[in-house]
């Protein structure tokens, strides 16, 4: 809160209440932290539902570490007993098809960092 202060020579100045200013800054920081936590929880909830793609015979999109090449991805798909349908926009992203249950788990064992439904991944440009 600002107050007008008059000097002895007749000039006017502004004096700020520092304690009130600090308090409002603390409140805005708390609001920022709260909104960040809500965003994080919402993102984790989305990831948890997206990370469990369909049943056997449905395509999945596997995202491997950024350093993975297309050859690394194809080797990992072979190890997970999957069939490559298409490579993604980046070398470390592939859409594949696994014929048996547990395919997503095998992709994680082969090095995938995330396995999601391809329809969801397309919304993010992958």
Q: What is the per-residue pLDDT for 100?
A: 84
Band of residue 68 on the pLDDT scale cut at 50, 70, 90 = very high
Q: 98 and 73 share a domain?
A: yes
Judge if 21 and 65 occupy the same domain.
Answer: no
pLDDT tens-digit profile of 73-124?
999 999 999 999 999 889 999 999 988 888 999 999 999 999 988 877 777 6
| pLDDT tens readout for residues 15-61 | 655 555 555 555 677 777 777 777 766 665 566 555 556 566 788 99
Residues 42 and 82 reside in one and the same domain: no
**What is the count of structural domains for the chain?**
2
* CATH number assigned to the domain comprising residue 76: 3.30.70
- 63 with 107, same domain: the answer is yes
Is the CB of residue 83 less than 8 Å from the CB of residue 77?
yes
Give the range of the structural domain holding residue 106, as residue numbers without chain letter. 59-122
Of 121, 122, 117, give the one whose Cα is nearest residue 51.
Answer: 117
At a CB cut-off of 8 Å and minimum separation 6, what does 4 contact? 12, 13, 14, 15
């Amino acid at each position: 809160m600002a107050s007008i202060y008059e000097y002895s020579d007749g000039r006017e100045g502004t004096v700020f209440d520092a304690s009130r200013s600090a308090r409002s800054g603390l409140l805005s920081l708390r609001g920022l932290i709260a909104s960040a936590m809500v965003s994080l929880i919402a993102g984790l909830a989305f990831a948890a539902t997206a990370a469990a793609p369909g049943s056997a015979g449905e395509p999945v999109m596997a995202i491997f570490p950024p350093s993975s090449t297309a050859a690394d991805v194809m080797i990992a798909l072979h190890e997970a007993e999957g069939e490559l349908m298409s490579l993604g926009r980046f070398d470390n992203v592939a859409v594949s098809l696994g014929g048996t249950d547990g395919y997503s788990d095998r992709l994680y064992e082969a090095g995938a960092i995330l396995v999601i439904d391809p329809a969801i991944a397309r919304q993010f440009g992958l």
